[in-house]
């Protein structure tokens, strides 16, 4: 088991290393550099030279990558090109805010997805299943910005129940973001619930048709006892990876939601850094998102193996 764990962790480290190379190379091949992007028409003479010296752009690409990567391991992501401030400090509050938004969406979305998925599967092809499936398709196909705009129109403009945008500053305490983040949470939870619900429904239907469940039915096992003791524990295993992908998406794919609601999170910061052509900040945020994505998927794989004895046995034999 420890050998399997070490192998997975090593694979995750190698993946992050390769991703960091891709991110650094992608920024490197862009025309110009952080200083020419920031200074624009003033990018010449002594001013350009001083900027490149300050940001270390006068050294070779390999040396700069090694400094950047080693600094990232220590938590030092460099300095921004615009404000000459520590990127780690700038990212801190934004990452906290994105984690807050993601955590609230998960608390709402996961239980709702599991409940509706099980209800839909156990009532396959009945009215409850048809209604839930139809709403799920709408939630998955309608773009997030359209859903966000409709919620703002209804609950903020027409009804006036909650604020339409977030006006709280990035460094404010968590408690000050309520009730401004209720609509962003609703949009994220809606999309997340739809994706997880479909997986739960399919998994429960497949498990219900398995041989051991049919045997339990023939032996006269009470229906709900069969569902809770035999069906759900096995049917919910595949949802672990889906939840992991959803968490990774919440941390890295909320750019649209944070922009629509003016939420001071990591996604909004990336949009601002791209607009300001602050390449060091954009590069750092991309690395953070990629690292979180790899870490969450690694954790999901390990949880799946721990929860499924057959996978553990296969790994040991292998």
The secondary structure element, H or E, covering residue 202 is helix 182-208
Instruction: Please check whether residue 85 lies inside any domain of the structure.
Output: no
Find out whether 106 and 250 touch, Cβ atoms under 8 Å.
Answer: yes
Domain hosting 243: range is: 95-317
DSSP string, 270-314: HHHHHHTT-HHHHHHHHHHHHHHHHHHHHHHHHHHHHH-HHHHHH
Are residue 211 and residue 298 in the same domain, yes or no? Answer: yes
Q: How far is CA 108 from CA 69, 78, 149, 153, 181, in A?
A: 36, 36, 20, 22, 13
- Specify the number of domains making up the chain: 2
pLDDT tens digits along 111-135: 999 999 999 999 998 999 999 999 9
Residue 52, in any domain of the structure: yes
CA end-to-end span of the chain: 12
For 239, the 3-state DSSP assignment is helix
Instruction: Give the separation between CA 59 and CA 27, rounded to whole angstroms.
Output: 15
Please give the structure tokens belonging to residue 185.
Answer: 């949470």
Judge if 178 and 296 occupy the same domain: yes
Domain boundary at 20, 48, 67, which? 67
Examine the domain organization and report whether 131 and 215 are in the same domain.
yes
- Assigned domain for 77 exists: no
pLDDT along the chain (318 residues), means of 10: 78 90 86 72 78 80 90 87 82 89 91 92 92 92 90 93 90 89 92 90 88 82 83 80 78 80 90 82 88 83 69 50
Q: Is 298 found in the same domain as 170?
A: yes
Among 26, 47, 67, identify where a domain stops. Answer: 67
Residues 174 and 313 in one domain: yes
Which of 52, 67, 82 marks a domain boundary?
67
Which two tokens mark 144? 């997030």
Q: Retrieve residue 170's tokens.
A: 């990035």
Alpha carbon distance 173, 256 (integer Å): 23
34 and 119, same domain (yes or no): no
The answer to whether position 83 is within a domain reads no
Angle among Cα 203, 208, 214 to the nearest 5 degrees reads 150
- How far does Cα 315 stand from its chain's mean position? 28
Residues 100 and 62 in one domain: no
Name beta bridge partners: 54.
none
- pLDDT tens for 191-200 read 889 989 998 9
Query: How far apart, in whole angstroms, are the C-alpha atoms of residue 39 and residue 151?
Result: 40
Same domain, 123 and 269: yes
Question: Is 185 in the same domain as 104?
Answer: yes
CATH of the domain at 145: 1.10.3720.10
Same domain, 50 and 180: no
The pLDDT tens digits for 66-96 are: 998 999 988 888 888 777 788 888 898 898 9
Alpha-carbon distance values, 172 to 21, 88, 97, 119, 236 (Å): 35, 17, 9, 40, 38
**pTM (two decimals):** 0.82
- Does residue 40 share a domain with residue 158? no
| Residue 233 forms part of a structural domain | yes
Residue 1: per-residue pLDDT: 63
pLDDT value at position 143?
87
Residue 232 three-state SS: helix
Residue 87 lies in a domain: no
Residue 31 lies in a domain: yes
Same domain (yes/no): 241, 301: yes
The answer to whether residue 118 is domain-embedded is yes
pLDDT at 21: 93
- Phi, then psi, of 253 in degrees rounded to 5: -115, 20
């Amino acid at each position: 088991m420890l050998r399997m764990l070490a192998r997975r962790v090593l694979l995750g480290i190698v993946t992050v290393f390769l991703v960091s190379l891709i991110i650094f190379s992608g920024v490197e091949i862009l025309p110009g550099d952080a200083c020419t992007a920031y200074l624009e028409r003033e990018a010449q003479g002594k001013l350009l030279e001083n900027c490149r010296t300050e940001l270390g752009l006068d050294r070779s690409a390999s040396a700069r990558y090694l400094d950047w990567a080693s600094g990232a391991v220590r938590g030092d992501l460099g300095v921004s090109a615009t404000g000459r401030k520590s990127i780690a400090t700038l990212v801190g509050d934004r990452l906290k805010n994105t984690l807050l938004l993601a955590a609230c969406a998960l608390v709402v979305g996961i239980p709702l997805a599991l409940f509706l998925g099980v209800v839909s599967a156990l009532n396959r092809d009945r009215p409850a299943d048809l209604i839930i499936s139809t709403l799920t398709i709408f939630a998955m196909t309608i773009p997030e910005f359209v859903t966000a705009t409709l919620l703002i129109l209804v609950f903020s403009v027409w009804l006036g129940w909650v604020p339409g945008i977030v006006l709280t500053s990035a460094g404010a305490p968590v408690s000050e973001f309520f009730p401004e983040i209720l609509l962003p949470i609703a949009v994220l939870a809606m999309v997340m619930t739809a994706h997880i619900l479909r997986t739960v429904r399919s998994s429960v239907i497949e498990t219900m048709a398995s041989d051991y469940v049919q045997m339990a039915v023939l032996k006269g096992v009470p229906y709900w006892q069969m569902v809770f003791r035999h069906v759900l524990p096995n049917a919910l295993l595949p949802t672990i990876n889906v939840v992991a992908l959803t968490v990774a998406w919440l941390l890295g794919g909320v750019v649209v939601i944070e922009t629509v609601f003016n939420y001071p999170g990591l996604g909004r910061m990336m949009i601002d850094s791209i607009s300001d052509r602050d390449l060091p900040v954009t590069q750092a945020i991309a690395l953070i998102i990629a690292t979180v994505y790899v870490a969450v998927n690694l954790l999901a794989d390990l949880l799946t193996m721990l929860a499924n004895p057959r996978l553990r046995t296969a790994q040991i034999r292998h």
